[in-house]
Amino acid sequence: MVMHMKPCLREHIPSKLSELPEAPAYEAGYLVTKNAGWRSVRPVIDREKCVGCLQCYLYCPDGVIYRKDGKVAVDYDFCKGCGICRKICKLGAIKMEEER
Amino acid sequence: MARKFLSGNEAFAEGIRLSKPQVISAYPITPQTIVVEKLSEMVENGSLKAEFIHVESEHSALSCAMGASAVGARAFTATSSQGLLYMAECLTYAAGGRFPIVMMNANRSTALPWNIYGDQRDSLSQLDCGWIQVYAKDAQEALDLALMSYYVAEHREVSTPFMVNLDGFVLTHTYETVDVPTEEQANRFLPAFESDHKLDLDHPCNLAFSAGPEHNSAFKYKEHVGILKAKGVVAQAEEKFAEIFGREYTGLTENYRIKDAEYVLVTLGSIFGLAKETVDRLRERGQKAGLIRIRYMRPFPAEEIAEAVRNAKAVAVLEKDISFGYEGTVYTNVNSALQKAGISLPTVNFIGGLGGKNISGEDIEEIFEELKEGYRGVKFMGIGGDGQWRR
Amino acid sequence: MAAMTVKTLSEDEFFYGHKACAGCGGSLALRIALKVLGERSVAVLPAGCMSAVGFNFPQLCFGNNAIISTFAGTASMLTGIEAGLRARGITDFHAVGFAGDGGTADIGIQALSGAIDRNDDILYICYDNEAYMNTGIQKSSLTPFGAKTTTTPAGKNIRGNLRPKKNMFEIIAAHGIPYAATASVGYLDDYMRKVEKASKIKGTKYIHIIAPCPTGWGIATDETVEVAREVVDCGLWYLAEYENGTFILNHRPEQFEDVEHYLRRQNRFRHLTDEDVQWIRHCRDEKWRAIHENFKEKTER
C-alpha cells in the first residue's frame, strides 16, 4: 500500500524553552489538536449508494474525505461538518447526522 | 592583497564581492547607489556569481532577501534613510525570523525637511528592531566589516541580521587607499552559510509562524540571547581576521588615549578621525582628553564603556541623532550603562551634524571645554546665532 | 497529455488540520493547488486568513515547505525563495504564493507587479473572497459593488460598497505576463487544469480564484461550492486565461442564471434595491460585451 503524505497528530507538544526551536521554524505538518469538536453534524457515507465518483473528496475544504477501497471515508478527527460533501453528492449517499 | 584608491561604498562593495552573497536585492537611494551599481557591474563581469534582483522598493528588497535566506542562500541588500524606514516592517521580521542577512545602510538624514546628507537618525531610530548594528569609521573598516558581518550574522549561535552603517557622503563618497584582500584569504576567513532552520526540500519545514502568548516570550528571549551572543562571536571573528588579514579590531568599542583621560568624548562613525586629531591637540596642551568610539550599538558595549570612563571626570556623547522629546539615543544608552555600573559622572549630550552639518575640530575642542563646567543634559549644536550651544 | 482529474489527482494532503471556518473556500483553493503541485512546492502566505489558520505553533498545518511573509511581501518573498534555491543549484520545485484579495489587489500589488515585471519564475494564486475576512470583513478593492462589509455598512445613506470590483486579472495581463487565469472553487476541474498548466510554464504565472467565505458573505457553510458555481453561471465572474498576449474565454454560459438569485441568497447583498440589482445586471452585460470583443473562445475541459 502506498503511504500518502499528510500532516498528522503528534504525541509530543513542545513547550519548554529548551524544546522550542531557536527560530520560528519547525517540522512541517505537525498537528497537536483535532478539529472534531467544531462539529454539530457529521457526514455519514452510505457505502451502498456511493459509486466512488470522488466529488466529495475533491470539494472538501479540509481534505478529510479520503479514498478507500474504490469509495470514500471520512477522517472524523478533522471534519468540521460543513456539509459541502452532502450537497455535492448527486446520489444522495451522504447524510448529515446530529452529533450527540 | 591589493592596494586600491576606493570610496567607502566601493570598498564595501569589494568586501561584499569577497563574501560571495548568492542573492542581492536592492533598490537605489542616495547615497547608497554606488554600492549596488558596483555589485551590478561585478555580477555583469562575472567577478561575483550572484542573482541580482531589481526589486521595486526597499520593502521588497528585504522581503526578497528574507526569502533567499529562508532557503539557505546568503543574501545582501543595501539602503539608506527613507529606504530603511520604508523597510521597517521587514527589519523586525528578519530579526524575528533569525535570517542572517547583511545590509549596508548609508547613514542619511530623514525627512522632513528633505535632506540627502549624513546623520544617524535613520539607523538609530531602528535600534530596537533586533539587528546587530555596527558603525564604520573609514573605508578600510567598511570593507573588513562586510566580511566580518557575515561571519558573525551566520554564526549558529547568533543567526541574526546585521546592519553595517557608513556615514552618508563623508564615508560613502570619500576616497581612501584601501587594502583589498584576495579571494583566497576571504575564503579562508568566511565559512559557507549553513542554516539550521530553512525551507528544505528534503525535510519540509514551516517557517515564520505565529506563536501566541504562551510561547511568544520564549521566542523573543531566544532572539535576545542570539544578538547578545554576537559579542563573543565578534571577538572570535576579529581574532581570525587578524590572523588572516593582519588587521586588528578592538571589539564593540575602539578607545583612544583613554587610560588616564579625565574628559572623555563618546561618539560613533566617521567623525572618529577628526576627534582623534583633536584629542592629540588637547593632549599637547596638557589636557587629559580621551575618546571612545562605539563600533557596535547592538549588542551594546555597556561594560566596555563603563570600564573605560570609570576614572574620568565627565563624559560627552556626540551623536548625529535626536530622539525628539528627550535626548540622543546614544546618550540614553551610555547613561544607562554608567548607571548600571554605579558610575555617577556628569554627562552631556551634544546633538550635532544633523542633515550633514559640518562638525569641525574647533567644535570638538569646544565640547571638551564645555565638559569642564559640570553641566548635565542636552546641548544642540549647529543651530547658529543665538541658539548655538544652548539647550 | 490528459488534464489532471480527480482520479489522477495526488492523494497526498498538504493543507490539513487547519483552523479555517467550516466551508472555507480559500482553504479549498490552497488544498487543491498543493495537491496538483506536489511535495516540492514552497508556499508563501502573507498575513491573512490562510496563514492565521495554518501556522499556529505548535499546530503547523502545511505538509510541504511553507512560510508566512509580510502582508505586502508575498511576491517579493517568492522572488527571494526562487532566486535563493536556484542560486543553490536546486531547480525542481514550485515557488507558489497564496494571498487573499486584500493581500493581492491592495497592499501586495506593488511587489506582485515588480515580480511580473522581472518575470520571476513563480506562481501567484489569489484566493478572492472579496473582503478582508481575517480582520473581520472589511472592504478591499476586490469587494464588489453593493456588498455590505463592516467598513461599508448598508444604512439609510450608503448602501454598502459603492465602487466596482477592480479587475485584477486584466491588470495582471496588462503586464504581458506569460500566463494568467481566472478560476472558481465551484469549478475545480478547470482550476486543476490551470494550476497544472501554470506549473509547466517558465516565468511569472497568476491565477485568480473566486473563493466564497461563508462567514463574510452570509451563506451557510455548505453553500460555498454552489455559490462559487452560481457566480460564474450568472455571469458576474468568468473563467478565462491570458496567454501569449491573448485572452481566452474558457466557459460561456449559454444563458445566464439569475443575478438576483445569486445576490439575494447572500446576507451581504440582502439590502440591495431592485435598481441596484438592475445596475449590477447592466454592468455584467457591459462586461460581457467587452469579453466578446476582446476574448477568443476556446473550451479546454
3-state secondary structure of C167: coil
Sign of the alpha-carbon dihedral angle for B356, B361, B363, B369: positive
Give yes or no for A38 touching C (CB within 8 A): yes
Looking at residue C300, what is its pLDDT? 52
For chain A, which chains pass the contact test of at least 3 CB pairs under 8 Å? B, C
Of B63, B73, B204, the CB nearest to C87: B73
Whether residue A20 and residue B218 make contact (CB cut-off 8 A), yes or no, is yes
- Check C23 against A6: CB less than 8 A apart: no
Chains contacting B (3+ CB pairs below 8 angstroms): A, C
Nearest to B86 by CA among B120, B56, B113: B56
Task: Give the nearest chain A residue to B98 (CA atoms).
Answer: A23
Kindly state which CATH superfamily the domain B2-245 is placed in.
Thiamin diphosphate (ThDP)-binding fold, Pyr/PP domains (3.40.50.970)
Q: Tell me which chain B residues have a C-beta less than 8 angstroms from the C-beta of C67.
A: 67, 70, 199, 206-208
Mutate to test the interface with B, among A6, A13, A20, A22 (most CBs of B within 10 A): A22
Number of domains in chain C: 1
Instruction: Using an 8 Å CB-CB cutoff, list chain A residues near B211.
Output: 24
Residue burial B4-37, b: 16+ Cβ < 10 Å; e: rest: eebbbbbbbbbbbbbbbbbbbbbbebbbbbbbbe
**Cβ contact C64–A58 (<8 Å):** no
Mean pLDDT of B147-176: 98
Tell me the pLDDT tens digit for each residue of B164-173: 999 999 999 9
pLDDT digits (tens, 9 = 90+) for B243-301: 999 999 999 999 999 999 999 999 999 999 999 999 999 999 999 999 999 999 999 99
- Nearest residue to B165 via CA among B234, B84, B104, B78: B104
Q: What is the pLDDT of residue B310?
A: 95
Contact list, B207 vs chain C (CB under 8 Å): 65-68
Q: What percent of chain B has pLDDT over 90?
A: 97
Residue C14 lies in a domain: no
**Structural domain boundaries enclosing C90:** 25-297
For chain C, 301 residues long, give each residue's pLDDT as a single digit of tens. Answer: 578 899 999 999 999 999 999 999 999 999 999 999 999 999 999 999 999 999 999 999 999 999 999 999 999 999 999 999 999 999 999 999 999 999 999 999 999 999 999 999 999 999 999 999 999 999 999 999 999 999 999 998 998 999 999 999 999 999 999 999 999 999 999 999 999 999 999 999 999 999 999 999 999 999 999 999 999 999 999 999 999 999 999 988 889 999 999 999 999 999 999 999 999 999 999 999 999 999 998 755 4
In a domain, residue C16? The reply is: no
**A with C: how many residue pairs have Cβ under 8 Å apart?**
122
Residues of C in contact with A81 (CB under 8 A): 22, 221
Nearest beta carbon to residue A61 from set C11, C31, C62: C31
Q: Is residue C277 part of a domain?
A: yes
Q: Can you say how many angstroms the Cα of residue C293 is from the centroid of all Cα atoms in its chain? A: 24
Q: Which helix (H) or strand (E) holds C265?
A: none
**Grid coordinates given for C203:** 516565468
Residue C8 lies in a domain: no
In a domain, C6, yes or no: no
pLDDT of residue B387: 53
How sure is the predictor about B386, in pLDDT bands with cuts at 50, 70 and 90? low
What are the structural domain ranges in chain B?
A: 2-245, 253-387
Q: Is the pLDDT of residue A55 over 60?
A: yes
Start-end of H helices in chain C: 25-37, 49-54, 74-87, 101, 109-118, 168-173, 188-199, 214-217, 224-233, 259-264, 274-294
Q: What is the pLDDT of residue B384?
A: 75
Q: Do C80 and B215 touch (CB under 8 A)?
A: no
| Chain C residue nearest residue B49, CA to CA | C87
* Of residues C25, C63, C226, nearest to A28 (C-beta): C63
Which band of pLDDT confidence, cut at 50, 70 and 90, is reported for residue A100?
confident
B interface with A, Cβ–Cβ < 8 A, is: 96-98, 159, 196-198, 203-209, 211, 214-215, 218-219, 221-222, 226
Q: In angstroms, what is the C-alpha Rg of chain C?
A: 18
Nearest-Cα residue of chain C relative to residue A72 = C11
Domains located in chain A, CATH noted: 8-98 (3.30.70.20)
Which residues have CB under 8 Å from C285's CB, separation 6+? none
CB of C204 closer than 8 Å to CB of C120: yes
Equal fold, B2-245 vs B253-387: yes
- pLDDT per position as a tens digit, C141-199: 999 999 999 999 999 899 899 999 999 999 999 999 999 999 999 999 999 999 999 99
A20 by DSSP, 3-state: which?
coil
**Cβ <8 Å between C32 and A58:** yes
Length of chain A: 100
CATH fold of B253-387, please? Rossmann fold (3.40.50)
Among B334, B360, B355, B351, residue whose Cα is nearest residue B391: B351
HSE (side-chain half, CA atoms, 13 Å) at B18 = 29
Residue C66: give its domain's CATH number.
3.40.50.970
Phi and psi at residue C197, to the nearest 5°: -60, -45
Residue of A nearest to B157 (CA): A22
In chain A, which residues have their Cβ closer than 8 Å to the Cβ of B209? 24-26
Q: Do A26 and B209 touch (CB under 8 A)?
A: yes
Distance to chain C for A25, nearest Cα, Å: 9
Alpha-carbon torsion (C210, C216, C221, C226), positive or negative? negative
